[in-house]
Structure formats: structure tokens, C-alpha cells
Amino acid sequence: MNEKNSFGLDICFGEKNNPFELFKEWFDEAKKTELNDPNAVALGTSDDHGYTSVRMVLLKDFNETGFVFYTNFNSAKGLAIKKNPNISMCFHWKSLLRQIRIEGAAGGIAKQILKFILGKKYDVVGGVTQLGILGSNPKNWNEKFIKKNQLFCPDKSVLELWEKYLLGIRKAGSSCGAIIEIRAKGVPVGLGAPIYSKLDMDLASAMMSINAVKGVNIGSGMNSAQLTGEENSDEINQRGKSTKFNSNNAGGILGGISSGQDVIVSFAVKPTSSILSTRKTIDKFGKNTTISVKGRHDPCVGIRAVPIGEAMMHCVILDHYLLNKAQCGN
């Protein structure tokens, strides 16, 4: 019979009866002993027909409110979770001879709250507007098409060319960067502040926190430096009972405060450094050497950044909605 601790649990649990404290202790041990990805976890989902599916994901964070992993809401697992939020997770750490099973409900909390508060008019859609040296036509932005292709390409006319380009990059053992654009529509007027809590400031900070992001634009962003005052200003017209802007160079934010237009943020993702090509570097002794990363790698990590950028947009807008609610009381 197994020995018991003072809580009546098996002695392997130590003197902890808080499962999150115990998980943190074991997770910290796994970080030291597991050779690869101690944060890798098997995620099991079930769709509305009862069909189950399991895949590996990476744990990004955890606390007593739950466990965080990233996913594209339109992926197979994202759609399954939307229809049936009940999931299971299993960590298996061979070096410790331990496994941990977790069961509960999953969901994109910020997105769901904003959808509930703001209704169907609120939505966030992201797409890849540039893949390496290949761009797209902003006038051809098609949200339905974005959801139908694996590259999150918004312009149907360039998808085939993008696919050939990316295949060439992969075959060469190289990588390329990308520019991602995130659009939020149905954002209330008045979120943000003229200083300290500017909406665009917080959005830029959130997007820059994403791994491999090297630059952020709000609206026209860096391109606005090339425009004249007449070209850059977003003229306003009264059309019947509604007020309309003729353009959106400001990206839906004026003076740090949302204007009611679509909030538009774009960011640049660098090419991944994990490439097959041999590169010069130094070893831990400071001596010249070379490195070549073997095994599977993504030729463009920017594609994976689209759902992360969407999630960041949801989080920042919810933060500012709650701040506005607390300050204004309406």
C-alpha cells in the first residue's frame, strides 16, 4: 500500500493539497530533466458529433484560473472547442516517470466576453498581407477567403504565387518573413486615453510582445511619413443620420482614442533563424564555428502569428472596454 501524506494523498504529492502548486513544482522539475519541450501537452477535443481528436500543443502559461495554449479559432481544434468546450490534457514527463491529466472547459475568454457585450457587429479578422517579397492588393481584402486558405491570404489573385514562393523557400532550407494585418470592427467610440493609456500604445505593446515581431503599424503607420497632410487626413461626412469617414489612415484611433472606425494594426514578423543553411556563429567558449538547424521547421512563422495577433487584439480591446466602464460608469 502506498504511503500517505497528512492530507491522505499518496506520498508522491508531498505536503501540497493545492493542485496548481503541485503542478508548478513538478513542471519546474520537468524543465530541468526533459530533453525537449517540457511544456508539450496532448490536447483532446470532441466535436458536436462526439468524434474525438488528440494533438500536441505547447503550454504558454498557467495559474489558478487555468492553463493557456495558443490556437487558431478556425483550425480543427478551434472549431471543435467552439462547439464543445469540454477538453482534456495530458502531460507526460518520461524523465520523472510522471503524467498529469487535466480536464475542464476551454475557450477564447476575451473574444467571448466582447461578443456577448457588443453583439454580432464586433469581430476581429487577421490576414497575411505580405509573404517575404510578395505583397497583396489591399482592395482585394476578402475575409471569407482568408478563412478558406492555410496561408491566411486575403487576396485570391496572389495565393497560387505565394504557395510556389513558400515551397521554394522550404526546398532551399531557408525562411522568410511576413506582414500581418489585424482588423477589429464594431469597436465602440471612446476607448483609450490621450496619454498613458492610449489605445494604439497598448496595441503596439501587445503586438510587439509576440515572438519574432520586429515592428508595428497603426493604420497607415510608417507609410504616413510619405503622405501630405491632405492625403493623410481622414475627412468626415454626414450621410443622412450617420457620420462617415472617407478613409482610415489613422487606423480607427485618433489621439489615442477609438473613433468608431475599424481598428487596424499590422506588424512585421522576421524570418525564423532555424534554417538548414549553414551560418557563422561562435560556441560557448567564444570560438568561431558554424551552425545548421536540422529537422522540421516552418519556412514562415509569420503565418502562425495571425491567430495570436487576433487574440492580442481581443485582449487589449477588452482591457480598454473595462477601463472605460470603470472610469465612465456606462
Per-residue pLDDT tens digits for 213-265:
999 999 999 999 999 999 999 999 998 888 899 999 999 999 999 999 999 99
Nearest C-alpha neighbor of 62 from the set 35, 89, 83: 89
Q: In this model, does residue 104 exceed pLDDT 70?
A: yes
Residue 8 pLDDT: 60
CA 220 – CA 265 distance, rounded (Å): 9
Which set of grid coordinates corresponds to residue 251? 487606423
The answer to whether position 6 is within a domain reads no
The residues, ordered by sequence, that sit 6+ positions from 232 with a Cβ below 8 Å of its Cβ are 220, 224, 249
The answer to whether position 235 is within a domain reads yes
Q: In this model, does residue 4 exceed pLDDT 70?
A: no
Which residues span the domain enclosing 190? 111-328
Shared domain for 123 and 268, answered yes or no, is: yes
Nearest C-alpha neighbor of 90 from the set 60, 62, 59, 66: 59
Considering 85, 107, 129, which residue would you say is the last residue of a domain? 107
Residue 112 pLDDT: 81
Q: What is the pLDDT of residues 108-151, one digit of tens each?
A: 778 888 988 999 899 999 999 999 999 999 999 999 999 899 99
The answer to whether position 62 is within a domain reads yes
Q: What is the pLDDT of residues 186-220, one digit of tens each?
A: 999 999 999 988 999 999 999 999 989 999 999 99
Q: In this model, does residue 70 exceed pLDDT 60?
A: yes
Residue 12 pLDDT: 64
The CATH code of the domain that includes 34 is 2.30.110.10
The pLDDT confidence band at residue 11, using thresholds 50, 70 and 90, is low
The answer to whether position 4 is within a domain reads no
The answer to whether position 3 is within a domain reads no
Considering 58, 82, 107, which residue would you say is the last residue of a domain? 107
Q: Cell 543553411 identifies what position?
A: 277
What pTM did the predictor assign? 0.75
The answer to whether position 203 is within a domain reads yes
The residues, ordered by sequence, that sit 6+ positions from 166 with a Cβ below 8 Å of its Cβ are 131, 132, 151, 176, 299, 300
CB 217 within 8 A of CB 309: no
Question: Strand, helix or coil at 94?
Answer: helix
Shared domain for 54 and 145, answered yes or no, is: no
Residue 296 pLDDT: 67
Considering 77, 107, 137, which residue would you say is the last residue of a domain? 107
Q: What is the pLDDT of residues 263-301, one digit of tens each?
A: 999 999 999 988 888 889 999 999 999 998 887 678 999
CB 59 within 8 A of CB 65: no
Shared domain for 191 and 318, answered yes or no, is: yes
Cβ atoms within 10 Å, residue 96? 15
CA 156 – CA 144 distance, rounded (Å): 10
Total of domains in the chain? 2
The answer to whether position 5 is within a domain reads no
Shared domain for 92 and 174, answered yes or no, is: no
CB 16 within 8 A of CB 25: yes
The pLDDT confidence band at residue 22, using thresholds 50, 70 and 90, is confident
The CATH code of the domain that includes 154 is 3.60.150.10
CB 320 within 8 A of CB 195: no
Average per-residue pLDDT for the chain:
90
State the sign of the Cα–Cα–Cα–Cα dihedral 249, 254, 259, 265: positive
Shared domain for 238 and 120, answered yes or no, is: yes
Shared domain for 101 and 156, answered yes or no, is: no
CA 46 – CA 17 distance, rounded (Å): 30
Residue 151 pLDDT: 95
Q: Cell 485570391 identifies what position?
A: 156
